Amino acid sequence: MKRIALSGIALLAASIGLAACSSDESQESNEYAQDFYNPVLPDGADPWMTKHEDTYVYTHTTGSNITIWQSDSPTSMMNAKSKVVWEPTPGTENSQNIWAPEVHFIDGKWYVYYAASGGGSEHRMYVLESENEDPFSEYTEVGQITDPTDKWGIDGTVIEQNGELFYVWSGWEGDENVSQYTYIAGMENPTELNTDRVELSRPEYDWEKEGGSPSINEGQQILYTEDYIHIVYSASGSWSDFYKLGILTAEKDADLLDPESWTKQEEPVFESSDDVFGPGHASFIESPDGSEHWIVYHAAKEQGSGWTRNVRMQPFEITEDGFPDFGEPLSITKPLPLPAGDPVNITRYTPDMIETEGDVTDEGILAETDQSLSLQFDAPEAGEYYLYLYWRNSGAVTVNGSTDTGDTFTFFNNNQGLQNEPLSVSSYKLNLEQGENTVELNVANGTFDLDHIEIKDH
C-alpha cells in the first residue's frame, strides 16, 4: 500500500493512503462529471491564457521568474506541464517584482512581455523571444521595450491589425505614482516600438477611481470580434473589492493610433457580485471545440482579502452588436459546465459517496483528528491521476516537506489565514493500477472541512 500523508500544524491536517487492491465486490465504471468547479488555480494573479492549435498556453505572475504551463484542457492548469523559461540575473534592473507576463505567438515564435524592476517602484517593460514555435523552447532576453519617454509601465500586450502590430500598456504620465493611463504605440517588430506613445484612456469615471490612490487603468487585454477591436482593462485599486473591468472599442479597420477612434463605455462591464470580489486582469480563450468564449480572470479569495487571489474562468457571450456580455462573476460554490470539447475526465465524490467516521452535514464532511475517509476509484488504465480536495478551512497551515523516505509526504492546505474563503482546492498526484483502487484519508491533526473530492486524469 502506498501512503501519502497530509499532516498540519494548525487546524487542518489529513493523511492520504492509497492502495490498488482487488475486491470481490463489483463496481460500476466511473461516471464522469460534465461540469467543473472554480477556482481552476487556488493561488494566482494576472492570469494569461491563449489557445494555440489544440493546446492552451498559460502564465501568471510568480514575482521571481517566468513560468509557462501547457495543457489540452483549459480547466486543468493545476497539474499541467510547466517550465520556468526565464530567471533574471540577480541585481539587474529587471530582476525583481516580475509582473503580469503574457505569451504571444507571432510569426512562428513566442514572445513573452512582462514588467519588472530592480527592487523599487521603477517598473519598466521587457520582452523575451523563443527559439522556435515550442513555448517550452529556450528564450533570449531581448531587453526593454519602450517608447521615447521611458516612463514607468506595466501590463504590455499586443494588437494585430491587418498585418501590423501595436503595443498597449498601462503607464504613468509623469514620474509620480498618481494615476495609470492606457497607452498605445506602433511596433516595428515584436520587440521594438516605432512611434511615440498615444494616450487612449485615463481614469475619469467614479468607478475607475475607487479603492484609494493611485487611480488605475491597467491589465489591458485585447478581445477581437467580427467588427471591433476591444481593449478590456481593469480599473480601480487592485488591492480592493472595487477592482473591475471596463472596455475601450475601435472599429476593426480604424486608425488605432488616433484617440478619436476609440470609445470608452461609461459603465463597467464586469464587477463584484454578491459573493465574488475584485474580479479583474482577464484574458480570453475559445473552448477546445471553438464554439464558446471564455473569460479567465483573478478575484479575491474572500471579501477584503486584497492581493490574496485565485484564478477562475467562466463562459461569456458576444452580442449581435459585437460586444462582450460577461454577465456577473459566478460563485465558486456551484459547478459550471465544462468548456465544450474539454478532454478532462472528472470522477466526483459527493459526501454521500464517501465512507467516513466524520460528520456528514448539509455543506460536506467535518472530520476530526484520527477520523478517516475512504472512496473507491476504478482506474480505466494504470498511470497518473490527480486527487482534488475541495475544502473550507478557517486556519492557516504551512508546507512542512517530507515526513520520511519512500512514498510518504507531507502537504498542507494553506489558506493564508483567511476566515471566510468559500471554497479552495488542493491537488495531489497519484500513481494508480488499472482496476479498483481504494483511497483513504486520515485526519492527523485538527478539523478537515471537506466539500467534495474529485479524481481527474489531468
Catalytic positions, written as ranges: 46, 218
- Asked if 17 and 454 count as a contact pair (C-beta separation under 8 A), the reply is no
Among candidate residues 34, 67, 70, the one with its CA nearest the CA of residue 51: 70
- The cell for 142 is 531581448
Q: Per 3-state DSSP, what percentage of the chain is helix, strand, and coil (rounded to 5)?
A: 5, 50, 50
Rg, the chain, Cα only? 23
Pairing of strands 424-432, 336-337: unpaired
Grid cell listed for 108: 512562428
- The C-alpha torsion from 207 through 219 and 122 to 200, rounded to 10°, is -70
Nearest to 106, CA basis, from 83, 132, 124, 125: 132
Cβ atoms of residues 51 and 285 within 8 Å? yes
Residue in this structure with the C-alpha cell 502506498, named with its chain if needed: 2
Distance separating alpha carbons of residues 392 and 214, to the nearest angstrom = 34
98: its cell numbers: 516580475
Which amino acid appears at position 20 of this protein?
A: A
Non-local (6+) Cβ contacts of 396 within 8 A are: 10, 414, 415, 416, 417
Separation in Å, CA 31 to CA 345, 348, 349, 454: 9, 8, 10, 12
138: its cell numbers: 529556450
Please give the Cα distance from 127 to 431 (Å, whole number): 39
The closest alpha carbon to 74, from 339, 311, 290, belongs to 339
CA angle 226, 229, 232 (to 5 degrees): 125
**Tally of CB atoms within 10 A around 186:** 18
**Cell numbers 529556450 correspond to what residue?**
138
Q: Which three cell numbers stand for residue 259?
A: 484617440
Triad 386, 388, 390: Cα angle to 5°: 175
Residue among 440, 368, 372, 409 at smallest CA distance from 6: 409
d(CA 288, CA 272): 28
- 3-class state of residue 77 by DSSP: helix
Distance CA 5, CA 174 (A): 54
